[in-house]
Amino acid sequence: MNLVDILLNADTNAVLAEKTEEYEVERLSKILGEKFVLTLKAIPAKRYSEIQTTAINMNGKRKSVDLYKMQMLTLNEGIKEPNLAEPNLLKKFGATTPFDMYEKLFLAGEITNITNKISTLSGYSEEEKQQNIEEIKN
């Protein structure tokens, strides 16, 4: 049986199902006395490409990647649950935007770890992610 036949016989719901994974932010679990678990999801290819493109800064002929912006957009698209943009939650923490909330809630290393996990769910290895950033710069 060739790959086309295998795909024709496949359960399309299983193949196309949204890929998710739970991720515990241990520091927040300790502080809150309850598990602080995020449900992360894969970001579709087109949207991931848009995030990467949006994070490019053009300074004359020189390109650079705004890593902070790329991470914030990745968190925004890749955190499925809980809804950290919930208006009452933003108000409670004095945040005006979801990006502001992520910055208040998570430490820098936690942001990096969560975005790396989302990238992995989206099909990227750390090496591929770095290659993509370098390609965007060039």
State residue 40 phi and psi, 5-degree precision.
-100, 150
* Burial of 90 (C-beta count, 10 Å sphere; 0-12/13-18/19+): middle
pLDDT, tens digit, 9 for 90 and up, residues 30-52: 999 999 999 999 999 999 999 99
pLDDT, tens digit, 9 for 90 and up, residues 111-138: 999 999 999 999 987 665 566 556 655 5
- Let me know if domain 3-137 sits in CATH 3.30.2220.30: yes
pLDDT at 137: 53
Please state, in angstroms and rounded to a whole number, the distance separating the CA atoms of residues 57 and 137. Answer: 9
What residue spans define the domains of the chain? 3-137
Instruction: Say yes or no to pLDDT of 23 above 90.
Output: yes
